[in-house]
Structure 1
């Protein structure tokens, strides 16, 4: 008798495919940093970068400890899910806009990619920036991030009740998204290996087409709840179009931040509406002939 498939919570747990994509993506990005970026910096700059990464690790651990009461799973007015993911990503906006000096910027890149590798090795499926703090504090907060798309696709592959189109859609989405996260960094590596992956990056529109096809397959009617399937269809169609246009995976980080901020505003307004709503008096219990017998 086969063992039952363990239920994985999206935003907290990563399955085999999600773990593999994270490990490969983290390893590819670290290979790029170690072989191409670090040799261009002095020893003092590298030490400053390592120090920056350690400071970030301590700061994010302190942040997770501070907001832990607001990260209860299922809390409608808490930070769980998208708002918490946006909170962890917001400080990283300093990196792409180019306001950091070279050494701290390198330290940010080191922390992000090491965190991604740790998330894959530990099986943490939340925002990768919280992977090391989650290990230190022995808590797995429910936080959505860019790699949540991979976990959403893998969910369709794991459920036995899902129809063949959904399982195929999950496989196409995982393969397509994994392509962008792995081939892109390796294409920037110096030397012959980088040239090979740079040539392979010409197939990016094909990978985007695979993600788009996944979205179309998710739209195929099937038995079971249709809400998540429709959400997956819309998400992967848009991601596929972004991949064909060359916007994936970079677009996933601002999308995570924007989604988190919007949901956080909605959650902040919900208590206010609840307070303004008139409180209804409970109905008095009226005895009838049936209740008095």
Structure 2
């Protein structure tokens, strides 16, 4: 992804940066995702006689999680966050979600992290910061908006690509871009947001939830948008459009098998680890070369 590591204090730069700046679709997408996350969490929490102790532990963990993210962000903000690839802090800050697949920690810890993440999406929404959701609150506290990649940047990249395509064409040449924009928005909403909504317990009980979900193969229509973006990237020699086309192609099978959030979380963590290792090895090689010079 094309990026700049320059932070902004209170406003974004003129040119939107993936991992830092968001458009209206990305803002609405995060808002709906955050609200759905909070609703799902509400139905998952125990509200029986032992609720007070459970919620008390959850509140303690929530404070600790928020404090840890704010502290780490503050320690790294000048010396690292503004100097390294956005992949590295993304992998670092996203790594705690591994407690879910590995079954680490207790229920209150899991739900506190879920609450912090869902709430952070709302902070993203109202602050306009498009970086990793768990970095939204620290970014607000320290007044620094560093590019930090997020699973939701797939939405931002698709939105920016469609906006650039529409802006670069006029007349009848815009018609394919209008169609691609509608198709792209449809796939992202139907196979990401609607999936969140369909899991609501009150919709599951009456059978509405399962009925909302579309067959996975329908997501293949996203390849038409990817092809148009790829053609535009080649015609205008636009690297950003090329990256957007590749991301749309890679997301299509993830949409088809209903694993987009999971795939993107893994991609952020793996990307951060990979870039960190590559950066470290390259630094060691350069030092060795300088020592022998």
TM-score range, shorter chain: 0.7 to 0.9
Is the CA contact (8 Å cut-off) linking 1:212 and 1:239 kept in structure 2? Answer: no
Hey, what's the Cα distance between the residues in 1 that align with 2:159 and 2:33?
16
Q: Which has the larger radius of gyration?
A: 1
Structure 2 gap segments, 5+ residues each? 1-12
Is the CA contact (8 Å cut-off) linking 2:251 and 2:260 kept in structure 1? Answer: yes
Structure 1 residues 96 and 121: alpha-carbon distance in aligned structure 2, compared to 1, 3 A threshold: farther
Aligned counterpart, 1:272? 284
Hey, what's the Cα distance between the residues in 2 that align with 1:124 and 1:46?
29
Structure 1 residues 7 and 227: alpha-carbon distance in aligned structure 2, compared to 1, 3 A threshold: closer
Hey, what's the Cα distance between the residues in 2 that align with 1:218 and 1:38?
47
Deviation at 1:248, TM superposition (A): 1.6
**Number of residue pairs the alignment of both structures matches:** 270
Structure with greater proportional helix content: 2
| SS of aligned partner of 1:136 | helix
Report the RMSD for the aligned CA atoms in angstroms. 2.5
Q: Deviations over 1:111-133 (max 9, x none)?
A: 11111121122111110010011
Structure 1 residues 218 and 39: alpha-carbon distance in aligned structure 2, compared to 1, 3 A threshold: farther
Deviation at 1:243, TM superposition (A): 1.1
Hey, what's the Cα distance between the residues in 1 that align with 2:245 and 2:42?
38
**TM-score, length-scaled by structure 1:** 0.83
Aligned counterpart, 2:222? 211
User: Structure 1 stretch 165-174 or stretch 150-159: which is displaced more?
Assistant: 165-174
Structure 1 residues 223 and 118: alpha-carbon distance in aligned structure 2, compared to 1, 3 A threshold: same
Structure 1 residues 225 and 192: alpha-carbon distance in aligned structure 2, compared to 1, 3 A threshold: same
Structure 1 gap segments, 5+ residues each? 282-293
Hey, what's the Cα distance between the residues in 2 that align with 1:88 and 1:179?
28
Q: Deviations over 1:234-275 (max 9, x none)?
A: 221121111112222211101111111111112112223333
**TM-score, length-scaled by structure 2:** 0.83
